[in-house]
Amino acid sequence: MTTIDLSYNNLNGTVPSNFSSLPHLQKLSLENNSLSGSVPSIIWQNRTLNATETLILDLRNNKLLNISGTLVIPQNVTVSLQGNPFCSNSILLDFCGPYNGDAGGTLQLANNTDCPPLACPPPYEYALPYPTCFCALPLLIGYRLKSPGFRDFRSYVDQFKWYITIGLKLNISQLHLNTFSLEAGPRVKMYLRIFPIFDDNNSSRLFNKTEVLRLRSMFTGWLIPDNDLFGPYELLNFTLLADYREFIPPPSSSGISKGALAGIILGVIAGAVTISAFVSLFILRLHMKKHHRASSKRSLLSKISVKIDGVKEFYFEELTLATKNFDNSSIVGQGGYGKVYQGTLADGTAVAIKRAQEGSLQGLKEFLTEIELLSRLHHRNLVSLLGYCGEEGEQMLVYEFMPNGTLRDHLSGKCKEPLSFAMRLKAALGSAKGILYLHTEADPPIFHRDIKASNILLDSKFIAKVADFGLSRLAPVPDLEGTLPAHVSTVVKGTPGYLDPEYFLTHKLTDKSDVYSLGVVFLELLTGMQPISHGKNIVREVNLAYRSGMIFNVIDDRMGSYPSECVEKFINLALKCCQEETEGRPSMVEVVRELENIRVMMPESDSIIRDSVVTDSEKDSRTPSSTSAMKYPFVSADVSGSDLVSGVVPSIHPR
């Protein structure tokens, strides 16, 4: 056993010393629990590690008071203890600094000591592991993983190199990756060197122009295939050294002679003067109206200096062209914030553009502050913000485009290809992970407040991504005495059918409010029903079926065969999320963990054995194995959306 991860499990007691009996242990993750007492140094004292082995002990955010035994830590052992009470002890500050168990470092490459040091003048480099002192000119690429599915990059370096080189159609020996760093998010920043392939006939030791342009196009056009493990990426730089620079020359000057150019200019001026005599008054009036409407906002924008990393500021003209002048045929949705347009940027990138309507506009400074906050959210299960536009009095957000629409679209009867149970479970897990990120990893933490099936989008691979933070609220932060409030008091806003009943009654928004809304989405996935339809509430209907032993009668037949044990556990989880009282609902961490457990139970192949499939004849007699999911079902009055929550106006824009 090399890795043990028991983080976020509410464990208490002391750290067992018998972890020292695991001779191959490389990483022990016990962070974010309630462990107390001392850390037994025997865990690393009894280990004999060679030069290439490492041991990472992550014990952050517990209640540990001391380290028993020696405080001398071997060089290849990392112990991370910040967030524990003993970090106030100055003797132990070395263990309480920023966690760097996978924060970055240098990956050692073998040195070719037989090569003369001056035979490869900069910027040429020896391309290891090639033999015979192969000296070549590399391409330098700055690369960032925006939402990787891991925390320790060292364990995935080799897999990452295979992924990149296969995507680029290169030999793995051409890629050198020897530095990386972990950034907030978490994100992984790295620098790649790509060398020409070793060839005795390649005396120039250079890529040819065609290959340089091909690789540049692959990176800048995001043509490297997506990967569930490594997630989306960001190109930081594509640097051409020395001889490569001539492959992309600066724009050349015109070859028109001065005389010809002068004649053209005179002709243009004469024509312009003639035309302007007829239209100058019209232009002047149009300009004055436009200036009167937008000049104050443009001048304010010019005075605001906000550096926003990771997102682009678009010109109004760019987005006008991308949407065919905001033609109605480009509209793909509309909400409280405004209309959503599908667009295509000049480089061919498909985007979704949310254009604020008049009633949703806010101050420009507040708008840019919200953009800066959004730009820090990076997760594979959140729709990525690509940029914004604040010109011409507009407030527009530019997001990645989700070609497979919303989860609600695929649950409606109009969908020609309904989602299978496995795909629905995958969507549930992805959505839960995205919301967990908002609650625990976003800085500052965020409560979504409007989770619903139409706010969960599906990309080209049907990966679920949470969208539309228009009603979201920042989670509570500690007061001056360090006390963390349990909730945020707000005006009730959200979507009927998804609203947490306790939030509706008390106006107290908590993380469990999002849990309730997500539980309703889970019920939609299982039944295909809408939250409120024809006077029926989905939570009430499913609870009635559950208590009467007829739960499989409300399961959506369109998802085909499914493992009954997995469906039962999913139903239990959904109903627990939808309990009326906050205390009875699981945390989002527990929701993700339970969905992971259900996923592990799923058959590896798409074919499911007959014994585990519920048939129509079994539905009437089958009873769920657990009865603890819901004791007090929430019975809501049959009301229309406008009656339940009137005047829904987002208080924080844009999200």
Name the residue ranges covered by the structural domains of the chain. 3-101, 105-247, 312-400, 407-644
354 is in an annotated binding site: yes
More confidently predicted of 220 and 616? 220
Tokens 């009633």, residue? 359
Tokens 């109206």, residue? 289
Give the whole-number percent of the chain exceeding pLDDT 90.
25
Contacts of 263 (CB under 8 A, 6+ apart): none
Question: For residue range 510-569, what is the model confidence (pLDDT) as tens digits?
Answer: 889 999 999 999 999 999 999 998 888 999 999 999 998 899 889 998 888 899 999 999
Tokens of 460: 């080209």
More confidently predicted of 228 and 397? 397
Q: Which is catalytic among the residues 58, 102, 450, 459?
A: 450
Indicate if 450 belongs to the active site: yes
At 630, the pLDDT band (50, 70, 90 cuts) reads: very low
Give the pLDDT confidence score for residue 55 in this predicted structure.
85
Give the pLDDT confidence score for residue 646 in this predicted structure.
30
More confidently predicted of 69 and 201? 69
By mean pLDDT, which of 51-60, 263-272, 588-597 is the weakest? Answer: 263-272
Q: What is the mean pLDDT of residues 195-199?
A: 80
Q: What is the mean pLDDT of residues 74-102?
A: 61
Give the pLDDT confidence score for residue 268 in this predicted structure.
58
At 597, the pLDDT band (50, 70, 90 cuts) reads: very high
Question: Is residue 336 over pLDDT 90?
Answer: no
Tokens of 123: 């910027």
Q: What is the mean pLDDT of residues 68-96?
A: 66
Question: Is residue 407 over pLDDT 90?
Answer: yes
Contact of 513 with 489, CB cutoff 8 Å? no
At 421, the pLDDT band (50, 70, 90 cuts) reads: very high
At 70, the pLDDT band (50, 70, 90 cuts) reads: low
Q: Is the dihedral of CA 329, 330, 332, 333 positive or negative?
A: negative
More confidently predicted of 188 and 255? 188
Q: What is the mean pLDDT of residues 89-114?
A: 49
Question: Is residue 221 over pLDDT 50?
Answer: yes
Q: What is the CATH number of domain 407-644?
A: 1.10.510.10
Architecture (CATH level 2) of domain 3-101: Alpha-Beta Horseshoe (3.80)
At 265, the pLDDT band (50, 70, 90 cuts) reads: low
Q: What is the CATH number of domain 105-247?
A: 3.30.70.150
Reported in sequence order, the residue ranges of 362-447 that DSSP labels E, i.e. its strands, are 385-389, 396-400, 446-447
Question: For residue range 252-261, what is the model confidence (pLDDT) as tens digits?
Answer: 444 455 455 5
Helix extents (H) in 305-406: 316-322, 364-374
Statement: 312-400 belongs to CATH 3.30.200.20: yes
Question: Is residue 610 over pLDDT 60?
Answer: no
Question: For residue range 279-331, what is the model confidence (pLDDT) as tens digits?
Answer: 555 555 555 544 444 444 444 444 344 556 678 889 999 999 999 999 999 99
Helix extents (H) in 489-634: 501-506, 511-527, 538-547, 564-577, 588-601, 616-619
pTM comes to 0.53
Q: What is the mean pLDDT of residues 459-481?
A: 66
Half-sphere exposure of 53 (CA within 13 A, CB side): 13
Tokens of 292: 């009167």
Q: Is 45 helix (H, G, I), strand (E, B) or coil?
A: helix
